[in-house]
Amino acid sequence: MSGTIRSNIQIGTRVKVVQKHHQRTGELTEGIVSKLLTKSPSHPHGIKVMLEGGIVGRVKEIVK
């Protein structure tokens, strides 16, 4: 599933995100969504979320 579509992501979903300061390297951080920060139904660079623990990033992968 795509991390660019908001309806694919719910609170409690395990995802991999790229944090703002890792955008150049593409380093991914895995965690569980605690808050959806993007209000629009889609975003070309990924839906912005907050993970448990307070990490904020854009969803690149949804982990099955």
- For residue 20, the 8-state DSSP code is G
Sign of CA dihedral 4, 33, 7, 63: positive
**Count of CB atoms situated within 10 Å of the CB of 59:** 29
Give the chain's domains with CATH numbers: 6-62 (2.30.30)
15: closest CA among 50, 39, 40? Answer: 50
Q: What is the pTM of this model?
A: 0.92
pLDDT tens for the chain, 64 residues: list them.
789 999 999 999 999 999 999 999 999 999 999 999 999 999 999 999 999 999 999 999 999 8
- For residue 23, the 8-state DSSP code is T
- Residue pair 59/25 in contact by the 8 Å Cβ criterion: no
